Amino acid sequence: MKTYPVFLMDADETLFDFKKAEAEGLKNALAEHGIACTPEIHARYHKINDDLWKQLERGEVTREKLLIERFVKLAAEFSFALDAVAFNQTYMRCLGEGSFLFDGAEEICRGLCARGAKLYIVTNGTAPVQHRRFAKCPVTECFEKIFISEEIGAAKPELAFFDRVLAEIPEFGREEMLIVGDSLSSDIAGGSIAGIDTCWYNPAGKANTSPHSPTYEIRSLEELYRFL
């Protein structure tokens, strides 16, 4: 088994509980607009949003359209009188308040750093939201740099995203890096396309339905220590 001096860490659903942040953000944003967030509303929003992000990964929709279209669709399904553009601004502000690390994630990040690993965040997301969430994170100092797709101008799994990351870490080659993430369609596919070894964080033991096979698969973040 190889060891790696550099870990490219996905953020949401790897280190951060994005589902919790999403639920809190949607509930609080709807409340500001006088709408109660029911379990049905949240479930539909989650599905609509997830489908649109998958479309973005495949290059089928722009980020700008995604951010508004998700609320256009949600309002249409539930007959809300909602200005999707204004509501998206409210939601993004509320979402930025949700910085919830998974249990054990802080200890793992600090432990990897203490053992000499260089950690970088690689995330698909909206820059203002991600920066607000990371600013609230107790382990921000563990990361050498945070790479956000909106700022790069390309999203995982696009090769352009990883080319930019590699260009900004010139002291290490791609063979010295390991990308760690929960998403087969962005993290694992992106690493495969870029020629970077991949580690699929799969705590639920899901089946791999992707044409891209990860180099490694782990059930817990503690297993990352074996790559040092």
Q: Name the residue among 12, 201, 169, 188 with its Cα closest to residue 96.
A: 12
Tell me how far apart the terminal alpha carbons of the chain are, to the nearest angstrom.
Answer: 10
| Tokens at 17, concatenated | 């509980």
Packing angle, helices 127-135 and 84-95, rounded to 10: 20
Q: Name the residue among 52, 48, 56, 53 with its Cα closest to residue 75.
A: 48
Q: Which of 10, 12, 187, 197 is catalytic?
A: 10
Instruction: Annotate 93-140 with DSSP letters as a single string.
Output: HHHTT---BPTTHHHHHHHHHHTT-EEEEEE-S-HHHHHHHHHT-TTG
Amino acid (one-letter) located at 120:
Y
Instruction: Annotate 3-17 with DSSP letters as a single string.
Output: --SEEEE--BTTTB-
Phi–psi pair at 69, nearest 5 degrees:
-60, -35
The strand pair at 143-148 and 177-181 is best described as unpaired
- Please state, as a whole number, how many other Cβ atoms lie within 10 Å of the Cβ of residue 32: 12
Tell me if residue 10 is catalytic: yes
Q: What residues act catalytically?
A: 10
